[in-house]
Amino acid sequence: MVQDTSTTDAAEPDSAPGFSSPALTVDELAALLKINRKTLYGLIQDGQLPGAVKLGRSIRIHGPTVLAWLSTGQVPVSQTRKGRR
């Protein structure tokens, strides 16, 4: 008799609901957040979005880091538009 030693599919530590991979492209994250990709590029350029990494000519964003950042509410809305009128 052969015993099944496989384990059930456990969630990976970096997995989060809605993400097939922890590393997202700008287009993928913009679609998930329902914002314009230019807005997302602006957040990345200003250093306001945690988890963004440039790999060669591409940018990847760690999805679970962004979720944690959003859930803590670190940046008040009034600060996101400072200096822009």
| Domain edges within the chain | 23-75
57-70 pLDDT, tens digit each: 999 999 999 989 88
What would the mean pLDDT of 1-8 be, rounded to a whole number? 51
What would the mean pLDDT of 24-43 be, rounded to a whole number? 95
How far are the Cα atoms of 4, 22, 40, 67 from residue 33, in angstroms, in the given order? 41, 15, 9, 10
How far are the Cα atoms of 13, 20, 84 from residue 81, in angstroms, in the given order? 34, 31, 6
* Mean pLDDT value across the chain: 78
